[in-house]
Amino acid sequence: MLTCFSSLAQKLDIRNSEFSFSIGTVEYNIEKFPNSIDMDFLNYSNAYPGYFDYAVVNFGHKFDFLSKMSADINLIVMSNLVPDNYDVSVYYHFNKVVALGLGSRLNKFNISYFEQFHLQGFPDYYLVDGNQRQFRVYDLGFYLTPMFKLIRHERFQTTVKFDIGMSSFSEEEAVFYLKRKLSNERMAYHYYTTFSFQPYVNPKLELRLRIFNINDTVVGLLLKSNFFYRYRSKNYNRSIQQWTCENEVYEFIRTPKHKCGRLEANAGLYVKW
């Protein structure tokens, strides 16, 4: 196994490897609208977050390969301590300043307490299952990004990227069973959210400051920030069964687009050789 990896690394001419570790915070800002006659899941995004829900740990690996290519791999750990967020990209360098890359990213956030929509909208009914409802929504994206190395001093470097891409929320499913108070009348609402790619932008800034070096190994301070912005909606198919299963109604619900922002900033160390 190690022999095969070593042979592949030699063929790709992997060099200038860098590992990084950083800790920071992420802040979500998703526009909320007044409730309408239809559920809008994004109105319940990140409801009542915990203190550590916005903490983020980033493990990064960069390296150059072939003659003009480089890769940037980032695994991101949030409050559940699972590395199920990522940002991976590959770049072609036209010169020492300008490059163009392709990448993919996966982020997540929570949609919680949306059972309140039915509790407030149907005061004459109660939920047969009164448990709290929550989605862990994954946002999968693919992007094109120019990269500019604005400052390339021996001790200090500044890199700017501007991702332009398309992303979609993961598909989710939820069922609500309601029963009228003091009656046998029942209703069932079944929701199936849909997979739909929508555009976004995500500018990124990286600052590196060399602290010291031992022979060919460099240790430095790393500061990173990015701002993810888009207009998004979470549309869904809905079926309603009232009193009996024969009265089922199917509908496709198109919800309004929300302004969605995600600001991330972190600081840490990098080791390069």
Tokens 């009228």 belong to residue: 180
Examine residue 175 and state whether it is found in any structural domain, yes or no.
Answer: yes
Note whether 87 and 74 are within 8 A (CB).
yes
Examine residue 81 and state whether it is found in any structural domain, yes or no.
Answer: yes
Whether 172 shows a pLDDT value over 80: the answer reads yes
Q: Which domain holds residue 160?
A: 28-267
DSSP helix, strand, coil percent of the chain (3-state; round to 5): 10, 65, 30
Rounded CA-CA distance 170/138 in Å is 5
Q: What confidence score (pLDDT) does residue 90 get?
A: 98
Q: What confidence score (pLDDT) does residue 82 get?
A: 80
Tokens 């920030």 belong to residue: 225
Backbone angles phi, psi at 9, to 5 degrees: -60, -40
Examine residue 190 and state whether it is found in any structural domain, yes or no.
Answer: yes
Examine residue 218 and state whether it is found in any structural domain, yes or no.
Answer: yes
How many domains does the chain fold into?
1
Whether 1 shows a pLDDT value over 60: the answer reads no
The pLDDT tens digits for 40-73 are: 999 998 765 554 557 899 999 999 998 899 999 9
Note whether 150 and 64 are within 8 A (CB).
no
Longest dimension (CA), the chain: 80
Examine residue 6 and state whether it is found in any structural domain, yes or no.
Answer: no
* Closest-CA residue to 56 (of 79, 73, 40, 72): 79
Examine residue 169 and state whether it is found in any structural domain, yes or no.
Answer: yes
The pLDDT tens digits for 105-161 are: 999 888 988 999 998 999 999 998 766 778 889 999 999 999 999 998 889 999 999
Task: Provide the terminal-to-terminal Cα distance of the chain, rounded to the nearest Å.
Answer: 23
Examine residue 150 and state whether it is found in any structural domain, yes or no.
Answer: yes
Note whether 135 and 172 are within 8 A (CB).
yes
Rounded CA-CA distance 219/209 in Å is 9
Amino acid at 42: L
Stated pTM of the model: 0.87
Examine residue 148 and state whether it is found in any structural domain, yes or no.
Answer: yes
The pLDDT tens digits for 74-103 are: 999 987 778 889 999 999 999 999 999 999
Dihedral sign from CA coordinates of 95, 100, 103, 109 = positive
